[in-house]
Structures are given as C-alpha cells and as structure tokens.
Amino acid sequence: MSSADRQRWDAKYSGKSVAGELMPNGWLLKHIESLPRGRALDLATGLGHSAIELARRGWEVTAIDISPMGLQIAAESARRWGITVQWIAADLDVYPLPRDHFDLVTCFYYLDREELPLRVVQSLRPGGMLVFETYTLDQLRVPGNHLTNPDHTLRPGELLTMFSELRVQHYRDEVLPDRAVASLLAQKVASGSASIRDSVSGAG
C-alpha cells in the first residue's frame, strides 16, 4: 500500500463512530469456540471489532491496519469495553511479522495474494490457526456491489492455493444474500508434515 491508500482509508473512517455494539466477522464467530487461546493477530483490522471480540474472549491480541484514523476509533471502542489490544498502524506490505509467534491469525476482506500468504504461515506457531475470508469474483454480480476491480477478488479455488501449506479444516465458496465470499479455517502443521484437507465443501 501507499500514503494514498492510508489517506483513502482515513477518509473512509473519519465519519465513523465508536462501536456501541461489536460486529465481529461471522465466519470467525462460527468457529471461535474451537480456536486455540493464546496470541492472536488480526490483519487489516479496520475498526477492530473482531480484534476486540478476540480479546474479550481471552486472547492476547495484536491488530494491524494502515489507517491511524480507524485504529483511533478501534482503540476508543476497546477502552469502552474495558479491553486491551495492541494496535499497530502499519503498511502490511512492509511490516515484518514475527515467525512462529501466533496461535491464531485472522484476516477479513484484505487481499494480498503475492507475499502475505507465506508471511502469515511463517508467523503461525505449529498448531496455530488461520481464519480468513474475503470476496470472490462473484461479488461483482451481487446487487449493490461496491467493488469495481476484479483483481481485488478471489478466483475459484484460489484461497486454497494461497494457503496450500496449511491443513484445511473448513472451507466455503458461496454467494450469500449480501455478498460472495471464500472463507477458510486452516491449521499450520508441524514442519515436515504434509498439508491435509480435512473438510472442503461449498458450505463449510
């Protein structure tokens, strides 16, 4: 990303208010009880709802976003909930992620297909989990769609390819009433173990 990206996201968040009600990602909530507690990293956290929910449930959370404005609102929301999160304003294109450090990495509606997948895998501890969701190409045909660039969406099966080193536990690629998404829950296996697809389906 660039300074222009930061300014664009700051402008988007400038009219937002502190959360009166948390709205964490639904795919995360669906699987949250099965996830290992410990250190969590929320990438492109935005207004921080998923990060705050994880911290509220006992994770030690680091949340990264390019927008200082978004993080300012997220931090105030966390204070109102009495929650502590480490908020980091940084460009994920260049920010170094620690290796073998996190028990959980989450990423919602941010797509970097070039370098981020490898860095995410490296940042997970063996046994650590990835929860990922973003738009697919079908989003361009959803009524009310706000996306215009197909490069910002996933092709069929692309998410599985991006994280082929991980053991897939649940996966879906479907058109929901308000959006078209691919969603993944996957685990980092011990070094030398083959990746295994345990549950790959259209509905997850």
User: pLDDT at position 67, please?
Assistant: 94
- Residue-wise pLDDT for 85-144, tens only, equals 999 999 999 999 999 999 999 999 999 999 999 999 999 999 999 999 999 999 999 998
Q: Is the confidence at residue 192, as pLDDT, over 80?
A: no
Domain 37-187 fold is: Rossmann fold (3.40.50)
Confidence at 203, pLDDT banded by 50, 70, 90: very low
Share of the chain above pLDDT 70, in %: 86
Contact 70, 49 (CB under 8 A): no
Is pLDDT above 80 for 163?
yes
pLDDT tens by residue, 17-39: 676 788 999 999 999 999 989 99
State how far the Cα of 18 lies from the Cα of 75, in Å rounded to an integer. 9
Tokens of 152: 């910002």
pTM of this structure: 0.89
Q: Cβ distance 18 to 52 under 8 Å?
A: no
